[in-house]
Amino acid sequence: PAVAQPSGETEKLLARLNLSEKGLEKVKQSLDDSENAVRELLNYFKQRNSVNHPINRNLKASSKGNIATEKDFETANNALEHIFVGQPAYPPYFCGDDIDWGTRPVPDNEWVWQLNRMSFWDAMGRVYWHTGDEKYAEAWGEQLIDWTWKNPNDEDHKYAWRSIEAGIRGYRWTGLFQRFIDSPSFTPDVLVAFLNSCHDHAEYLMTKYSTRSNWGLMEAEGMAFIAITFPEFKNAEKWREEAFRRFNNEINIQVYPDGHQRELAIGYHLGCIGWFFRTYELAKMNGIENAFPSSYLERIEKMCEVPMKLCLPNGTNVQFGDAWEGTPGQHKHRFREWADFFGRDDFLYLATDGQEGKKPDSTAYALPFSGLYSMRSGWNQDAVCLVLKCGPDGGGHSQPDNGTFDLYAGGRNLMPDAGSYIYSGDPEGRAWFRQTKVHQTLTLNGGNSKYDPKLLLWQPGENLDILVVENQSYENLAHRRSVFFVDKKYFVIVDEAIGNASGDVGLHFQLAPGSGAALSKTGVAVFNSDYFSVSSNFIEGWNVLVQTTPQSGLELIKEEGWVSFQYTKKEPRPAFCYRLNKGQNQHKIQFVTLVIPFEKEAPKIQIVRSVIESDKMEIEVVENGKEKIIGYKMN
């Protein structure tokens, strides 16, 4: 049953509105009878057509029978029984006949935080439009009143009032208003609770500004959506102007000139495109888009290029930092929207698997501010592709992994990034995945590296792409990595550990996980200590061979390996390290490694000579009896 409204709520709401607005005359005339005034206010909102929103009330009738998914039905029907989704990696949970909005079924705080984003209300809204069944609208109204009554913004309810959740609710609730306002179950009581809470959210968000973080965009979005959807509030203009100011500010603070959002995790980057874009589009729908200069859209377009440049050929993400692989083809709908909006043929090509549009203008891309680089053999889904990271500190969603890379070929991610596994509730589990040594990079005594990156050379070419980056990983040791993509087929990677530090230098690599029938009988990887080589061992499709040139004192050591492609789930995978002891009197040690993706049988490739100096390099490679010299000279 719905909780009774605390007294005085109606009067409070009426005092917050500008009743001189056109259309509110009857509300103003009824002020001495507040119950009647709210009935008039509800009539006004049911008839109002002066505000446009991405969820268009006029589409309600045509959405019947075609808007909700099976998952929506499951989520919405569970929510009728108070079985709610929190963090979606965990099962939904019963939160009581008398709902406890602070329910914590798991130690992971993300569960209770995300419970208070109420994603299940969105499912109820879609199922309501799909079926027209009033039970969804009625239950939503009851739950909304229950939430507002039980969750004042105070010390005892911090789980519900982080600024990120407040921003997310501000945005989502305006959509719920569009879904439910035409329902007979949207009563005056629901309206009072809803609008008062929207006002509280916007006023609270005015006091919270997490600059330089994706939180700052969610805070501003919540405020903007409330302000534009409900211009009847006296403070709406103030909220709107502040939200626009923040967006115009953050697009320059948070997004590097190369287009990547500064936290350097692709999921947050894509989220930020949405946060910057949605408020612009809402403003445009309501004729106020001139609050955003043309440079705002230019920077968003640059952001939209990032997944084109950095995603793997099947459309999955590289899991640098707190990023998740996702599913093949996951960005097609985005590329379609962006192709239409920006008139981009290359986006259209990716949206349609090459059936329309034009393929992107290059196979190698550098994002020098973000320190992210990609090289690929082509734009087909089986292409060979390597994506490397050597960038600045991206904050809490970034990992100390400079120099690391991901290798994909023939439809398989052969050397995936370990991922991040979990955010909260398992600090040891989170810490394990954040270690430098569980990435494809170099360590000193297994310790975590610093962020201190430099791009020394970027030289893409027809048959040879060259990338040279350096990171001052430790106080007295820099890691310089030179990557040569030879004939769009295989890689020569030269790693130099430079400085007067002493200790064990480890060059770490990790391969794809595999199990059972996919593998040949000798297991998930083949280690050959005599040749310092390791290869993956899939029966079908592509494999990878990693082989380092032998040198005195070099050891090949198996390491603990895990990879996480989904939140809270991890699986073992082959991991290994080439270890070499460095003395204090040695200014530099180096490793020369072949990384060869192959189908069926590995090609015969050998490094026969390498000359490595501070500003130039020359390496002689023999492939199937043919000699080739690769290298570079810095200016």
Q: Which two tokens stand for residue 237?
A: 């203009």
3-state secondary structure of 229: helix
In one-letter notation, the amino acid at residue 525 is A
Q: Do the Cβ atoms of 316 and 332 come closer than 8 Å? A: no
Cβ neighbors of 257 (< 8 A, separation 6 or more) are 302, 369
* Residue indicated by tokens 């050597």: 390
Burial class (CB in 10 A: 0-12, 13-18, 19+), 265: buried
Q: Angle CA(345)–CA(314)–CA(311) in degrees, nearest 5?
A: 70
Cα–Cα distance between 625 and 631 in angstroms, integer?
19
Kind and range of the H or E element at 172?
helix 163-180
Cα–Cα distance between 164 and 473 in angstroms, integer?
33
- Length of the chain, please? 635
Residue spans of beta strands (DSSP E) within 513-634: 525-528, 533-536, 542-548, 555-559, 562-566, 569-572, 575-582, 588-599, 605-612, 616-623, 626-633
Q: Which two tokens stand for residue 465?
A: 């792409």
CA dihedral (348, 354, 357, 360) positive or negative: positive
Kind and range of the H or E element at 52?
none
Q: Do the Cβ atoms of 490 and 603 come closer than 8 Å? A: yes
Cα 523 from chain centroid (whole Å): 33
3-state secondary structure of 424: coil
Residue spans of beta strands (DSSP E) within 294-363: none
Q: Which two tokens stand for residue 26?
A: 């009857």
* Cross-strand partners of 576: 509, 558
Q: Which two tokens stand for residue 632?
A: 């570079």
Burial track 30-62 (b if 16+ CB lie within 10 A, e otherwise): beeebeebbbbbbebbeeeeebebebebeebee
Cα–Cα distance between 49 and 39 in angstroms, integer?
18
Pairing state of beta strands 453-459 and 442-444?
unpaired
Catalytic residues: 268
Q: What is the DSSP letter of 377?
A: S
Q: Do the Cβ atoms of 304 and 338 come closer than 8 Å? A: yes
Q: Which two tokens stand for residue 531?
A: 């040749």
Q: Do the Cβ atoms of 527 and 558 come closer than 8 Å? A: yes
Burial class (CB in 10 A: 0-12, 13-18, 19+), 497: buried
Radius of gyration of the chain measured on its C-alpha atoms: 28
